[in-house]
């Protein structure tokens, strides 16, 4: 494992780019326009299918190991673990609402706006807290065995969007991100 802190930070940077794309589409929606539901669904699907099932479980394992070395971070880590659950549930709710809207179901705009705002605010603040409080301490206290345990918290799975071979379903999203970088 070359540099786990850099990898953790890089994933956060990817997630922030996706959240920015999602925010752009939510803004279109809030202004009464027609957002790109397919793009929004791809962002949410990636973040709920990959981040919630691979990235966050690895973080949770790293958090446990950080907490053993940094008791002062226990309350922050407990909050971050709770936020992982909130983000997962909010993401699933937003995905359902967006899919319904994409399928031309009647969905109150306010429901989508509230679900999107909850998701975006929680996720953005969550990443910021990890970047500011957790990553620097992780760099100081986690040993190679800790990082190995974090990586093994879930089966090794290639990143379907940012990995070397993106899944077909995410090719357009990857192109969009590359154009906006």
| CATH code at position 170 | 1.20.120.520
User: CB under 8 Å to 169, separation ≥6 — which residues?
Assistant: 42, 45, 160
pLDDT higher than 60, residue 1? no
pLDDT tier at 148, thresholds 50, 70, 90: very high
Specify the pLDDT at position 35. 94
pLDDT band at 174; cut points 50, 70, 90: confident
User: Long-range CB contacts (< 8 A, 24+ apart) of 141-148?
Assistant: 141/65, 141/66, 141/69, 141/70, 142/4, 142/62, 142/65, 142/66, 142/69, 144/1, 146/62, 146/65, 147/1, 147/4, 147/62, 148/1
| Domain extent for 73 | 4-180
pLDDT for residue 68: 96
Q: What is the pLDDT of residue 169?
A: 86
Q: What is the mean pLDDT of residues 112-123?
A: 96
Number of separate domains in the chain: 1
Say if residue 106's pLDDT is above 60: yes
Average of per-residue pLDDT across 99-128: 96
Tokens coding 159: 């990143």
Read off the pLDDT band of 181 (50, 70, 90). low
Q: What mean pLDDT do residues 103-132 have? A: 96
Considering the chain, what percentage of its residues have pLDDT values greater than 90? 82
pLDDT average, residue stretch 41-58: 94
């Amino acid at each position: 494992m070359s540099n786990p802190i850099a990898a953790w930070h890089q994933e956060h940077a990817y997630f922030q780019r996706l959240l920015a794309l999602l925010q752009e589409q939510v803004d279109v929606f809030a202004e009464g326009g027609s957002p790109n539901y397919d793009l929004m669904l791809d962002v949410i699907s990636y973040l709920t299918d990959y981040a919630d099932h691979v990235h966050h479980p690895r973080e949770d394992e790293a958090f446990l190991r950080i907490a053993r070395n940094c008791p002062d971070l226990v309350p922050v880590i407990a909050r971050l673990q709770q936020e992982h659950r909130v983000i997962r549930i909010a993401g699933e709710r937003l995905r359902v609402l967006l899919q319904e809207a994409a399928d031309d179901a009647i969905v109150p705009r306010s429901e989508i706006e509230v679900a999107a705002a909850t998701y975006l605010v929680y996720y953005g603040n969550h990443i910021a807290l990890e970047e500011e409080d957790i990553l620097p301490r992780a760099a100081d206290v986690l040993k190679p065995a800790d990082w190995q345990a974090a990586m093994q918290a879930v089966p090794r799975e290639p990143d379907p969007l940012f990995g070397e071979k993106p899944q077909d379903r995410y090719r357009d999203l990857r192109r969009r991100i590359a154009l906006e970088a």
